[in-house]
Chains A and B, each alone.
Chain A
Amino acid sequence: DTEVTQTPKHLVMGMTNKKSLKCEQHMGHRAMYWYKQKAKKPPELMFVYSYEKLSINESVPSRFSPECPNSSLLNLHLHALQPEDSALYLCASSQGLAGGQEQYFGPGTRLTVT
């Protein structure tokens, strides 16, 4: 199984809402990532988890809060977002954090903030 799954596929939320994005992989990968992708742009790294511990936070605003409950699951909690946060949010995983490894991406959650 080389699949990364993400739910929901689409999400519309107001600026005062709290919502969560979920990501799951069953490949035994120990590194998981959140990316933000705007239209016609490459993915921008937000967070990296390694062995369920936060390894990298790319100076992401605190209205985005990641969580890694176990080695297969990654959540992104959203609160008080801004319209400019509307984007495709991609989850990815890799075997580990060692450089040179490919990443496996999920299909993404299309987020619209109204």
Chain B
Amino acid sequence: GDSVTQMEGPVTLSEEAFLTINCTYTATGYPSLFWYVQYPGEGLQLLLKATKADDKGSNKGFEATYRKETTSFHLEKGSVQVSDSAVYFCALSDVNTNAGKSTFGDGTTLTVKP
């Protein structure tokens, strides 16, 4: 079945540092890939997505590129802020299924210190 593996956290960075959160996936079909962010006390928000190989999703300074050859979708940001402190979930949804199911990684907690 489908699966998503994220780098283990927690990740602690200083403000303005470079961020990478690794995400690799296993899928039997042709997945769309997503990064969701969950701020403390809130629900998940879609951060960015990519629907096919070599697509780059970007939003709020975050980027991730769909790499089919390495089955990866790593999240990057050039300069993090304290307000980026949150839990980040990598997820996939297989375009060949009609079940509406998404597969989530375990989440990576990011803390940014001033």
Contact = CB atoms under 8 A, between A and B. Distances in A.
A associates with B? yes
Interface of A: 4, 6, 31, 33, 40-43, 45, 48, 50, 55-56, 90, 92, 94, 96-108
Contacts of A104: 46
Contact of B32 (A31, A96, A99): A99
Nearest to B39: A107
Interface in B46-67: 46, 49, 51
Contacts, number: 77
Interface residues of B, number: 30
A97 B45 contact: no
B17 interface: no
B33 to A, nearest CB: 9
Nearest to A91: B43
Interface string B88-103: 0100011111111110
